[in-house]
Chains A and B, each alone.
Chain A
Amino acid sequence: MKNYREAIIVVQNKIRYSGAVVVAIIYLSFIAAVLKIANPVVQVFVTIGINIALLFVIVNIGALLYGIITRDRRQAD
């Protein structure tokens, strides 16, 4: 049981750091977009970053709906 908990914590920490990377990419891509940097590599990065931001928003809608639908299942989770 202890090993299981430890494994969960390891996965959760990985998610935490990958989440921070995703948020950082979104921030940097918006900054680059606002600054209108003409470099083609930066433009590809901006396109990827803004699409990730949009995906992030869609995931949030999913999380919101999931939270509403399963609001009576706190203990089960």
Chain B
Amino acid sequence: MAEIRRFSKSQIAIHVLGAFSILVLYITGLPITFPDQIGWIPALLGGYSITMLIHRIAAVGFIVAGVYLVVYHGLYDIFVGRSYFTDVWIKIKDIKDAINDAKHILRLSVDKPPRYGKYSWIAKAEFWSFFSEAAIFLVTGSILWFSWQSMAFMPPQYLLTARYIHAGFAVVSVCGIAFHSYMVHFNPENFRIDRCIFTGSMPEEEVKEKYPRWYEELQRGDNSGAE
């Protein structure tokens, strides 16, 4: 069976580093917010100071993945051609697709479900929600990490606000990851695991079925967003 390239090596690397980092950040960060429920994790790791050290090392990995994504794909978009950012940019069609999908699921429309391009509106919504959450984590996390330096130019109560925002968005982000994992791993079509993000390629038949508009683009020779 023929395989079609969906993700480049840089995209695979960013996903692996970013995903591993954020999962470690959850394990080491959530016990700070919920000490009564999962306080056994810092105890297992050898105390809160070691847990926070691991949290900060994982944060560096997450920042590296984020900076690499923005710089590499941003520069590629500007100087070479269409990149990942061009493909995940939200268009009017995505909003229409979301409405049509909802109508289709709720049986309000007899039309067929929308025909997706390379990235569906769900994938784009997931990407931009993670991207915006990452920006919030970066700002609030930096304030908390460099708290003494931060207090030189902001009142101390801002640190407490930053802590609440950081923890609140961490909970939202865990819920987002749960949704992402459910869609990827618990989906009967992909169960046990969707290997596409690791191999970078997808069987042609699957592309034809799941992403018909992208398949048509490929047939026309428009292999956009290869990088």
Contacts and interface: CB of A to CB of B under 8 A. Distances in A.
Given A13-B188, A64-B20, A56 B178 contact: yes
A23 B197 contact: no
Contacts of B198: 67-68, 70-71
Nearest to B185: A63
Contact of B37 (A15, A19, A23, A46): A46
B177 interface: yes
State the majority secondary structure of interface residues on B.
helix
A20 B182 CA distance: 7
Chain A CB count within 10 A is highest, among B168, B178, B187, for B178
Contact of B195 (A27, A54, A58, A71): A71
A66 B174 CA distance: 21
Interface size class of A (residues with CB under 8 A): 35 or more
Pick from A46, A56, A70 the residue with the most CB of B within 10 Å. A56
Given A13-B188, A26-B175, A30-B175, A71 B199 contact: yes
A25 B199 CA distance: 32
B52 interface: no
A10 B102 CA distance: 26
Interface of B: 16, 19-20, 23-24, 26-27, 30, 34, 36-38, 41, 168, 171, 174-175, 177-179, 181-182, 185-188, 191-193, 195, 197-199
Given A34-B168, A63-B185, A67-B198, 16 more contacts: A12-B191, A19-B185, A20-B182, A27-B175, A30-B171, A33-B37, A47-B36, A50-B38, A54-B30, A60-B23, A63-B192, A63-B193, A64-B16, A64-B23, A68-B16, A70-B198
